Amino acid sequence: MKALEEKILQEGEVVDGDILKVDGFVNHQVDALLMEEIGKDMAEHFKGQGITKVFTIESSGIAPALFTAKELGVPLVILKKQQTADSLKTEVWQTEVVSYTKDTSYRLTLAKNYISDEDHVLIVDDFLANGEAATGAIRLIRKAHATVAGLGVLIEKAFQPGREKLESQGIHVYAQASIKAFENGKVVF
């Protein structure tokens, strides 16, 4: 997606050689108009597949996933990273996600009443690198006997194993911007 690639080249920041920071338009400050374009492109890619819900992982994926859901005319479900006190009163599906990138782990939580075995779910997130978060979301969807329409991400680090891991499970992956490498602090698509 041209507009996203251009924004990454203009405003993305490569830190420590292999981390791309997009805090100025995706993760901390959010460019709402760009997110709308991103949502439209995502919906265009996945339309006509009988998608009933868009899922995202709290909280960086919420903005693009919201516009995707709006365009597809389906609800968005935000998978929670923390078990809040009140979620304990609701029946939930949970799975542990270990993030090697950030050296943390968290419990991904989905209330059972927001998924059924008739759902066909598109997962939308900001980044795909090692695929840990997406794999966790897929586990939750499968626990509920729902099906996965695919994973749509804004930015893929194509030199990391996320896509391969997901495709080997039969998951269709769509990346709006695919990064081949970082060279001398620059992004190479």
Q: Compare residues 80 and 157 and give the one whose CB is closer to its own copies.
A: 80
| 184 assigned binding-site residue | no
CB 97 within 8 A of CB 106: yes
CB 185 within 8 A of CB 168: no
Q: Which of residues 108-147 bind its own copies (CB under 8 A)?
A: 111, 113-114
- Residue 84: CA atoms inside 13 Å, Cβ hemisphere, count? 9
Q: Compare residues 49 and 59 and give the one whose CB is closer to its own copies.
A: 59
| Residue 19 to residue 181: CA distance in whole angstroms | 11
Q: Is 75 in the site for its own copies (CB under 8 A)?
A: yes
| 17 assigned binding-site residue | no
| 20 assigned binding-site residue | yes
Give me 16's structure tokens.
């420590």
The residue count for binding its own copies (CB under 8 A) is 39
Burial classification of residue 57, based on how many CB atoms lie within 10 Å of its CB (0-12 exposed, 13-18 middle, 19 or more buried): buried
| Residue 95 to residue 108: CA distance in whole angstroms | 5
Annotated binding-site residue numbers: 20, 27, 129-133, 157
Provide the binding-site residues for its own copies, judged by CB under 8 A: 15, 19, 21, 23-24, 27-33, 35-36, 58-59, 62-63, 66-67, 69-70, 73-78, 80, 84-86, 89-90, 102-103, 111, 113-114
Annotated binding-site residue numbers for xanthine: 20, 27, 157
